[in-house]
Amino acid sequence: MTARQLGMVIDLNKCIGCQTCTLACKSQWTDRDGREFMYWNHVETRPGKGYPKDWEQAGGGWDGDTLRPGRLPRLHEDYGYPAEFGYEVLFEEGEKPLRPKEEMAWGPNWDEDQGAGEYPNSYFFYLPRLCNHCSNPACQVACPRQAIYKREEDGIVLIDQERCRGYRYCVAACPYKKIYFNPLAGKSEKCIFCYPRLEKGLPQACAYQCVGRARHVAFLDDQEGALHQLVNQWKVALPLHAEYGTQPNVYYVPPLSPPKIGSNGRSLDEPRVPDEYLVQLFGPGVGAALEMLREEMAKKNRGEASELMDLLIAYRHGDMFRLDRPREVV
């Protein structure tokens, strides 16, 4: 354990799948220097194969106290090569359409809005993903160079770009497949939780620029912070795939959905998203978390107060981020 741990709660009832976070991260970190194919932060539609494709089947993480084997995603098939467009066709003779120079085979949002089920009972929701800055990071242990470490002051997991030799054991070991190999630099890279921004008192680009206001950032030991309250007190924020054993520090408020519809068009009192699917992602606590959300929403509906709802509403954008230093940059 580090002295302090910074974490994030992402509210899936406020994440609207717009990918503004994805692009905020991209223009902050990954639009250059061999990182073009990487999305340190992305939003995938669930159910779906996700990004990289079928990452949940790619292994990694812990099996008790030993590392589970993992495989490396393929560039073209699993990440998707970052499409390039020949805009010059628009200034040339002929009817050539503006298209990717090479057809896309996969991408970070390939599954967008597809989900599962049958009309009118199909279902989907959005799942933003980034490095979980785990408390028991498999990547750190897998690195033979000991290039990966957790910062004492905030628990951020970093890959020392001077020590890293690009072996990619970490890529395979991360069960969330959130470490990427930079073929230009010959090193592995990943989400750095925007530590250069945090150090200037500015929240992570993905969180600060989240137009859905879905992300809360706080230290876990901050009793006043949304992390402590949502994770420990209200127990409505849950880690993704806790069974991977890495002890993630990104938590999710699970998604609500409208009820199912019967064959005659009647609204049924049945959940649209099968419980077992949500349990598979967020563990056995998900039922209680959803029930808590429904109960507190019902209170508001009746005109009563609800601290939990007020916390999730987040009346002031600035209050969603509790960092340990004042803002230094404009």
Partner 1 sequence: MDRREFLRNSTYCGLALAFGGPLTALRAHAATPLGDQRWEELYRDEFLDTRGDAQGFAFHCSNCQGNCAWKVFAKDGRVTREEQSAAYPQIHPRIPDANPRGCNKGIVHSKEMYQGDRLLHPLKRAGERGEGKWERVSWEEALEDIATRVVDTLTEQGPGELMVYAGTGILSQGRRAGPLRLGSLLGAQRLYPASAVGDMFTGASLAYGLANTGHSLDAWFDADAIFLWAINPIVTRIPDAHYLNEARYNGATIYTISPDYNPSCKFATHWVPIKPGTDAYLAMSLLHVLLRDGHVNDAFVREQTDLPFLVREDSGELLRHRDLRARGKEDVFYCWDEASGKEQPMPGTPGHFKKTLRLGKLRPALGGRYEIKGKEGELIPVTTVFERVRAEAANYPPDETQAITGVHPELVERMARDLARSNKAIINIGFALHKYVSGTMSCWAAALACALTGHAGERGGIDTEHNWSLNGIGPLSSPKPARFASGFFSEWLNGDMQASMDTHYSDEHLKATAGYDSKDVERQVAENRESGKAYYGKPRALLLFADNMFRRNKTEAHHREAVLSNLDIFVDINHRMDSTALWADYVLPAKSHYESWDIRGELGYHRFCNVTIPPEGLKPVGETRSEWAICLGLSEAMAKVARARGIEPIADPDFLVQEGDMAAPVMRDLQTLPDDFTDGGTLKNDEDVVRWLMENVEQIAPWTPEDARKNGFVILNEKAGFTSPLYANRPYHSFERNVYLREPYKTHSGRQQFFVDHPVFKEHGWTVPTAIGPLRPPSFPLAFYTPHTRWGIHSQWRTNEQLLRLQRGEPYLWLNPATAAARDVGEDDRVRVFNDVGEFIARVKLMPAVPPEAVVMDHAWEPHQFEKRIGLNSTVAGMISLLELPDGWGHLTFSPNWDGNMIAHESSVEVEKA
φ and ψ of 261, to 5 deg: -120, 130
Q: Per CB under 8 A, does 98 bind partner 1?
A: yes
- Is the CB of 7 or the CB of 59 nearer to partner 1? 59
Q: Per CB under 8 A, does 263 bind partner 1?
A: no
- Cα separation, 48 vs 113, in Å, equals 9
In the set 144, 276, 284, 328, which binds partner 1 (CB under 8 A)?
Answer: 144
Q: Are 40 and 188 in contact (CB under 8 A)?
A: no
Min dist. Cβ of residue 289 to partner 1 (A) = 14
Q: Are 151 and 1 in contact (CB under 8 A)?
A: no
- Cα separation, 18 vs 281, in Å, equals 21
Q: Per CB under 8 A, does 29 bind partner 1?
A: yes
Min dist. Cβ of residue 235 to partner 1 (A) = 17
How far apart, in Å, do the first and last CA atoms of the chain sit?
33
Binding mask of the shown chain, residues 5 to 24, with x at each position contacting partner 1 by CB under 8 A: --------xx-xxxxx-xxx
Give me 310's structure tokens: 């007020």
Give me 159's structure tokens: 């890959």
Q: Which residue matches tokens 């785990």?
A: 134
How far, in Å, are 35, 67, 253, 290 from residue 278 at the CA level?
A: 32, 25, 11, 10
Q: Per CB under 8 A, does 288 bind partner 1?
A: no
In the set 6, 8, 38, 173, which binds partner 1 (CB under 8 A)?
Answer: 173
Give me 90's structure tokens: 């628009």
In the set 208, 219, 244, 252, which binds partner 1 (CB under 8 A)?
Answer: 208
Min dist. Cβ of residue 297 to partner 1 (A) = 6
Q: Per CB under 8 A, does 33 bind partner 1?
A: yes
Q: Per CB under 8 A, does 259 bind partner 1?
A: yes
Segment lying near partner 1 (by CB under 8 A), choices 178-186, 215-223, 242-250, 279-287 = 178-186
Q: Per CB under 8 A, does 36 bind partner 1?
A: yes
- Cα separation, 11 vs 234, in Å, equals 14
Residues 214-243 within binding reach of partner 1 (CB under 8 A): none
